[in-house]
Amino acid sequence: MAMQTYTLKIVIGGAGGCGKTTLLHRYMHGLFKEDTTMTIGVSFTSKEVTRPGARIKLSLWDLGGQNRFRFMQKSYCQGARAAIVFFDMTRLDTMIQIKDWVNMFREHVSAQIPIVLAGGKFDLIDEDMLASTNEYAKEMMEQFGLSAYFMTSSKTGMNVDELFNHVVDVLVCTPSHEKSTAVSSIQ
């Protein structure tokens, strides 16, 4: 059986300074990078992964989260097959923006685009804040029918690979008639 080859564009959005670039650096290089520069407009990178019978080239687009880049983000989303909405678990202001990002992806890419919610900086969150953050994330998942929620730490590497593996699996391994409705519980 011949190996199938896929190229999948995945967009990553979230508030400015929430850790998207650091998350991507951890995923690409397996290392934590403490100091990153602000993403101006968009930054993109690619990575090859495999699944049984498939070779997948991920085209990962890191969207600048500052409001001044909003007018450009819509065009950067064209052709995306999935989206990750990323927020900083220690900053309420980044959680509030989740709705805006989900709505933008659904409006400018597809109403059926698989969207995964991911909270970063798990290593910095206290127990009280964790409970309220998870409750809010659960509400967002239910309200928008998001594919999954991952708590991550770019510093420790917790759930970084699992997040991207989930996105790939939703796109490649889920039967096509189920792709738009694949939902999993909070992980």
One-letter identity of residue 32: F
**Total domains, the chain:** 1
Buried b / exposed e over 152-166, threshold 16 CB at 10 Å, is: bbbbeebbbeebbeb
CATH number at residue 52: 3.40.50.300
Q: What is the pLDDT of residues 74-83, one digit of tens each?
A: 777 789 999 9
Rounded Cα distance between 77 and 80, Å, is 6
Assigned domain for 186 exists:
no
Q: Which helix (H) or strand (E) holds 106?
A: helix 98-108
Domain that holds residue 13: 4-181
Alpha-carbon Rg of the chain, whole angstroms? Answer: 15
Helix (DSSP H) and strand (DSSP E) numbers for the chain: 6, 6
Assigned domain for 154 exists:
yes
Assigned domain for 187 exists:
no
The partner residues of 12 in beta bridges, in order of sequence, read 62, 84
User: Which regions in the chain score pLDDT beneath 50?
Assistant: 177-187
- The pLDDT mean for the chain works out to 86
Q: What is the pLDDT of residues 43-85, one digit of tens each?
A: 788 999 999 999 999 999 988 865 655 656 677 778 999 999 9
What phi, psi does 183 have (nearest 5°)? -130, 135
Do the beta carbons of residue 116 and residue 83 sit within 8 Å? yes
